[in-house]
Chain A
Amino acid sequence: DVKVTQSSRYLVKRTGEKVFLECVQDMDHENMFWYRQDPGLGLRLIYFSYDVKMKEKGDIPEGYSVSREKKERFSLILESASTNQTSMYLCASYRAGELFFGEGSRLTVL
Chain B
Amino acid sequence: DQQVKQNSPSLSVQEGRISILNCDYTNSMFDYFLWYKKYPAEGPTFLISISSIKDKNEDGRFTVFLNKSAKHLSLHIVPSQPGDSAVYFCAAKSGSARQLTFGSGTQLTVLP
Contact = CB atoms under 8 A, between A and B. Distances in A.
Interface of A: 4, 9, 31, 33, 35, 40-45, 48, 50, 58, 90, 92, 94, 97-104, 106
Nearest to A101: B43
Given A90-B43, A98-B46, A58 B104 contact: no
6 contacts: A42-B105, A97-B93, A99-B44, A101-B43, A103-B43, A104-B42
Contacts of B41: 9, 103-104, 106
B45 A50 contact: no
Interface string B27-67: 00000101010000111111001000000000000000000
Contacts of A90: 43-44
B98 A103 contact: no
B102 interface: yes
Most chain A CB neighbours (cut-off 10 Å) among B43, B89, B104? B43
Contacts of A44: 102
B1 to A, nearest CB: 11
B43 A4 contact: yes
Contacts of A33: 98-99
B49 A98 contact: yes
Interface string B2-37: 001010010000000000000000000000101010
Nearest to A100: B46
Contacts of A45: 99-101
Nearest to B45: A101
A38 B6 CA distance: 14
B29 to A, nearest CB: 15
